[in-house]
Structure 1
Amino acid sequence: MTITTGAPPPTHNSPVALARGFLTGGVVGTSLAALVVGGITENAPLFATGLVLPAIYGLLFFLAGMPRRGREAAVVPRTALAVIESLKAVGGESSDVPVRFELTVAPDDRPAYRVQITQDINLVDLPDYRPRGVVVVQYPPDRPWRVRIVKRPTPEWEDRAASARLDSVSGTAGVAAPPEGYAFGFVVLLGLLLGVAAVVLLFRADLFDRDDTAKPPSAVRPSVSSTSSTTVVSSASGTIALDPGQSLLDKGELDRALDSLTKGGDTRQALTVVVQERLLSVVFSPAGTQTPGFDPSALPYDRFPALVKEATTALGVRSPRTWQITADRPTGSLIIRIVVTGAEGTASLEADGQGKVVRRAPAR
């Protein structure tokens, strides 16, 4: 049964409630999207917005609801007797235990009705509540489902409760808060989706173009090669580093890498050339000194793959982990040394300036 007193109770399908639900969904969606997008794009202001926005909205929501709460507090509650149909503790580990009551409320000026409530009851007072016991309750006139048990009623109502005998009513006479309805849930979901979409669209460039912007600028790549690499050249040395998945032993890579280090007609002599899988390093001879050096472009680069293959397969290293080629001129003749390391130890071989093997040192 439905109890009405004057104006009908507000429902979640009213225009104000729907607008509030849409705004709440929009704030939640915007906040979540700002946190995710701000974290991915490393945008600190956007990430901070995702943290601050719910707090600001919560404060505004609280302030906007103050007049309504004031009006509700000014309404004098109705007092009535009620009989406990059933009760059940639903949790809690403190001195106050949440108890779910099913009550039959019997107002003096209207028909009795059923209602379900949950109220905290102190453990000391819990034995005072039992099925078929009569209690004193209060509720707002316009919201009869908001029933609260009066723990310390006035002497007059306490005497009435002690002598009253109330009949139960059927469950069909129950009263409950108005349901939210499908419209309210729909506008909340719509607001959430629109909030997410707004953030993603506003920051789509930062979100989806991060890989392109994170790549090194084209100016640092060798102008003579389409291979993706990083070049660092100074007065004393030069370095070429290839991206993962590439190798300096690939056909023509060593020649292109050396050209990028000596572009502009640089004819400086080299003291040492070191070649690894994806790294080429050249230490140049200081200008104006008589330190013995060699022309790095004169090395037999076409022989390097074969020398590495022999060092990694014929010197007892069955599971090679790393290899390194070092070319230098310590005593007047150029020496090319290949060192291989693996689980079996370290092996090496040496070759002359034409790439001919002159010495082998198996793994030990």
Structure 2
Amino acid sequence: MTITAVAPPTHTRPAGLARGFLTGGVTGVSLTAFISGCVVGKAPLIIIGLVLPAVYGLVLHLCTLPRRSREKAVAPRTALAMVESLEAVGSDTSDVPVRFELTVAPDDAPAYRVEIRQGINLVELPDYRPRGIVVVEYPPDRPWECRIVKRPTPAWEERAAGAYLDSAPGPVMKDDPPTGRAGGFLTLLGLLLGVGAVLLLFRADLFGPDASSTAPKPSASTSSTTTVTSATGTVTLGPGRSMLDHGELRRAVESLTQDGETRQALTVVVQDRLLTVVFSPTGVRTSGFDPRSLPFDRVAALVEEARSTLGVDSPRSWQLTADGVTGSLALRVVVTGDGGTGSLEADGQGTVLRRNGS
């Protein structure tokens, strides 16, 4: 069977642009509110940052529920397709994510090209090859959302065995059509407007004088500077010293917690000569951790492992972030160099969980 291909249908999603703008706005508001609330110790800002994304997700789910119900009620169409090309894009599980470019030839419509991603079992991967004929299904109103039928009916299997298809010309449709420059611009615009809205509405709390904060306390040592406020604490080492030196990080953390009270931390950020601790707001019940519980003896080894095993050429800088907002302590080491950026994640004991190369 030979199919004469014509230009494929096009599709636009104005609703996707609006959703991208709203998502950017909600992201900007929630992140700015949460971070600002933690820094200045304002519970309303922290609550806004935590509640707003959940409310937005619920509203979005309810608004799209009728459309998704209608889409599920429409019976999919079946057609033959020719594999133009395929490429495995991952191998985390037995089902390998594969990017297919197909020429789809419906019985009652012109042929078109589409790019999809679908998980294929590693054992079945050799069954798919360029110029091979497969059976696909797709919603009638969304032909770009086609999926390869792994076990077609005998009738369609017989048709596929004896079919021959011509390649359809581009452009190639995708099962998750990109929003393009307009969508990216609207998302960025929403993000910036969200950030600006929080800074404008709460400017008095964020930029006004903080009566609860204490004056910075420089340490007596001439080789390091310690600054402590009600929300944060920092230690800056002098030239020739590093947080990776033996016992240096432990002494720096203890210098921020030597006032006798156990101050919980939301985040601890360690760089070569700089330590920053974001403390939990006073009087607010939030998840956190004791910064003195960090696995100090494992920090230098984690940084060295990140430098040598993540494939980053000529690593220049590193940063370790300890986060306890979710309730359990998690460590993340990011290394930056000429070859890009790589990261390493570990648990609260310093045991490596995963690596992400550049």
Could you state the TM-score of these two structures normalised by the residue count of structure 1? 0.53
Structure 1's 139 and 42: CA in aligned 2 closer, same or farther, altered over 3 A? same
CA deviation profile, 1:318-349 (whole Å, cap 9, x unmatched):
xxxxxxxxxxxxxxxxxxxxxxxxxxxxxxxx
1:174 maps to which residue? 172
The aligned runs of 1:239-318 (5 Å cut-off) are none
Paired amino acid for 1:165: Y
Query: CA separation in 2, counterparts of 1:173 and 1:165?
Result: 21
CA distance in 2, matches of 1:87, 1:244: 61
Q: Give 1:90's aligned residue.
A: 89
Map Cα deviations across residues 102-139 of structure 1 (whole Å, 9 max, x no partner).
11111112222222111000112212212222110011
CA distance in 2, matches of 1:210, 1:163: 79
Per-residue CA distance 1:30-70 (angstroms, 9 max, x = gap): 10110121011111231122022112211211121111111
The verdict on how the C-alpha distance between 1:71 and 1:190 changes in structure 2, with shifts beyond 3 A counting, is same
Matched residues in 2 for 1:215 and 1:173: separation?
Answer: 63
Instruction: Give 1:156 shift.
Output: 0.7
Partner residue in 1 for 2:281: none
Q: Distance in 2 between matches of 1:111 and 1:159?
A: 22
Name the larger-Rg structure.
1
User: Which AA in structure 1 matches 2:122?
Assistant: L
Is 2:204 the counterpart of 1:205? yes
Equivalent position SS for 1:145:
helix
Q: Distance in 2 between matches of 1:215 and 1:175?
A: 59
Give the aligned partner of residue 148 of structure 2: 149
Report which structure shows greater RCO (CA 8 Å, sep ≥6).
2
1:194, distance to aligned residue in structure 2 (A): 1.8
SS state of the match for residue 167, structure 1?
A: coil
Percent sequence identity over aligned pairs: 64
Q: Tell me the amino acid that sits aligned with residue 78 of structure 1.
A: R
Correspondences of 1:114-193 after superposition (within 5 Å):
114-170=113-169, 172=170, 174-176=172-174, 179-193=178-192
Does the 8 Å contact 1:106/1:113 carry over to 2?
Answer: yes
The residue type equivalent to 2:141 in the other structure is D
CA contact (8 A) 1:2 1:175 kept: no
SS at match of 1:192: helix
The count of aligned residue pairs is 213
Task: Structure 1 unaligned segments of length 5 or more: list them.
Answer: 217-242, 246-364
Q: 1:91 to 1:152 in 2, by over 3 A?
A: same
Check whether the contact 2:103–2:113 (CA below 8 A) recurs between aligned residues: yes
**How many angstroms apart in 1 are the aligned matches of 2:24 and 2:210?**
32
CA shift in 2, pair 1:86/1:17, >3 Å: closer
- Aligned to 2:38, the other structure's residue is in SS state helix
> Per-residue displacement from partner, 1:144-189 (whole Å, max 9, x unpaired)?
211210011111101111121222234x353346552443333322
Q: 1:173 to 1:203 in 2, by over 3 A?
A: closer
SS in 1 for 2:168: coil
SS in 2 for 1:151: coil
SS of residue matched to 1:210: coil
Provide Cα deviations, 1:297-317, integer angstroms capped at 9, x if missing partner.
Answer: xxxxxxxxxxxxxxxxxxxxx
Q: What letter corresponds to residue 155 of structure 1 in structure 2?
A: P
Q: Deviations over 1:194-245 (max 9, x none)?
A: 21112112221222223566469xxxxxxxxxxxxxxxxxxxxxxxxxx979
1:24 equivalent in alignment to 2:15:
no
Instruction: Indicate how the Cα distance of structure 1 residues 184 and 148 shifts in structure 2: closer, same or farther if over 3 A, else same.
Output: same
**Any idea what SS the aligned residue of 1:28 has?**
helix
Mapped contact 1:85–1:103 kept (Cα < 8 A): yes
The letter of the residue matching 1:141 is P
CA-atom RMSD, angstroms? 2.6
Give the Cα–Cα distance (whole angstroms) in 1 for the partners of residues 16 and 157 of structure 2: 40
**Equivalent residues of 1:103, 1:116 under 8 A apart:** yes
| Counterpart-to-counterpart distance in 2, 1:203 and 1:33 | 11
Q: Secondary structure at the match of 2:78?
A: strand
2:108 and 2:130 mapped to 1: Cα distance? 25
Secondary structure (helix, strand or coil) at the match of 1:201 reads helix
CA distance in 2, matches of 1:50, 1:173: 42
Residue 187 of structure 1 aligns with an amino acid whose one-letter code is: L
Question: 3-state SS of the aligned residue for 2:152?
Answer: coil
Over 3 Å counting, the alpha-carbon distance change for 1:215 and 1:158 in structure 2 is: closer
Q: Would the aligned equivalents of 1:80 and 1:138 in 2 still touch at CA under 8 Å?
A: yes
Instruction: Measure, in 1, the Cα distance between the counterparts of 2:137 and 2:186.
Output: 34
Contact kept? 2:28, 2:192, Cα under 8 Å: yes
